[in-house]
Amino acid sequence: MAFLFRPAEKIDPRFAEGDGRIDVACALYPDAPKPWLDLSRTAAPWPYPAPDIAADEFARGMDRDAIAALGALAANFYRVPPSVEIVPLPGADAGLRLLPWLFRSPKRVAFLAPASAGIRAAWEAAGHSTSEVPSLDSIGKGDILVVDNPGHADGRIAAHAELAAALPALKRRDGLLVIDETLADADDTASMLPCVARLDSTVVLRSANTLHGAGGIPLGFAITSHPVAERFRAALGPNAVSAQAVAFGRAALADAGFAGEQRARLADMGGKLEAALAQAGLRIVGGTALFRLASTDMPHSLFDRLARAGILTRPFPKLDALRFSLPKDEADLARLQAALA
């Protein structure tokens, strides 16, 4: 396709800082067709139907029995061992960003590459030193190891045995293994929770939003046997999650039928997306049930072309690749195919 405009020479760094930067896209591409097609997020494009909330539930304080019921449903859904604690969070991302502030002394924090720039910045803001390591056997003198599993950028899976092998060195330093499993709901074979009896030196973060397509109702869980569970509770207080999030979580996590149907939808549309990207000459270099990571020789030009067509993707400059989440229907898929042609 011949360019009828001069493509951008680089991608605005704000797009690489996080998902869903439609605000930035609208400012930089005011003439792009509306509505924007946001393919930058790591969430299913078919939202779970949020239950109605009675008016009086907005007025009164949080129902502790409802919170306990939510925790029990999460334990069942995520197959959490009975001896492990579950702390509801106002989103898994919020938990990941709060965690650095729950340590009294500076820590050496290693991130398995490619690391999330935003989460790494949160640890640095809290006074910790950070580094990025290429493998789980190269954490050096790190006190804390942070692993997103599956990987948010490329979908890479860290094997349970490799994660377990990293624990002895961390335990000797009274350290902690932090596993971000926010993308594991779509393919829970990645989760280590069914494989352990306790999590004494590990905290696992899960999200109720990705599989259920409900980014507007942040709800996550910190799952651990470590004392950091009580620190989370003390920092967040008794009203950590909203009544709307509790009602959504109790309905969604109890609905096994929806979860199965959603995984089937993801598999079907994921195959169609991958075929469309390959047909356009892109190289599939990673992915999960929720997205595909595609490499190209000129990712900045492709990002720019798609943005001018009103399609937002998630760039990863270090990987020379763009991440594409799943279109919600055939019309959105056709729109992407037309922009790629």
State how far the Cα of 207 lies from the Cα of 93, in Å rounded to an integer. Answer: 8
Superfamily of domain 14-46+258-340: Aspartate Aminotransferase, domain 1 (3.90.1150.10)
In this prediction, residues 262-275 reach a mean pLDDT of 97
Give the side-chain half-sphere CA count within 13 A for 182.
31
DSSP label at residue 254: H
Of residues 11 and 269, which shows the higher confidence score? 269
Residue 291: in which H helix or E strand, if any?
strand 291-295
Dihedral pair phi/psi, residue 109, rounded to 5°: -115, 120
Query: What pLDDT sits at residue 2?
Result: 40
Residue 83 has pLDDT above 50, yes or no: yes
pTM (predicted TM-score): 0.93
pLDDT of residue 307: 96
Q: Residue 278's CB: how many other CB atoms inside 10 A?
A: 13
Domains 14-46+258-340 and 55-254 share a fold: no
Statement: residue 300 has pLDDT above 50:
yes
SS3 per-residue string spanning 203-247: EEEEECCCCCCCCCCCCEEEEECCCHHHHHHHHHCCCCCCHHHHH
> In terms of pLDDT, which residue wins out, 49 or 7?
49
Task: Lowest mean pLDDT of 1-15, 121-135, 175-189, 318-332, name the range.
Answer: 1-15
Question: What's the rounded mean pLDDT across residues 231-250?
Answer: 93
* Mean pLDDT for all residues in the chain: 92
Is the per-residue pLDDT at 5 higher than 80?
A: no
With contact defined as beta carbons under 8 Å apart, do 129 and 121 qualify?
A: no
Average pLDDT over residues 194-215: 94
pLDDT in tens, 148-195: 999 999 999 999 999 999 999 999 999 999 999 999 999 878 899 999
Query: What CATH class does 55-254 carry?
Result: alpha beta
Give me the residue spans of the domains in the chain.
14-46+258-340, 55-254
Rounded to whole angstroms, how far apart are CA atoms 212 and 255?
10
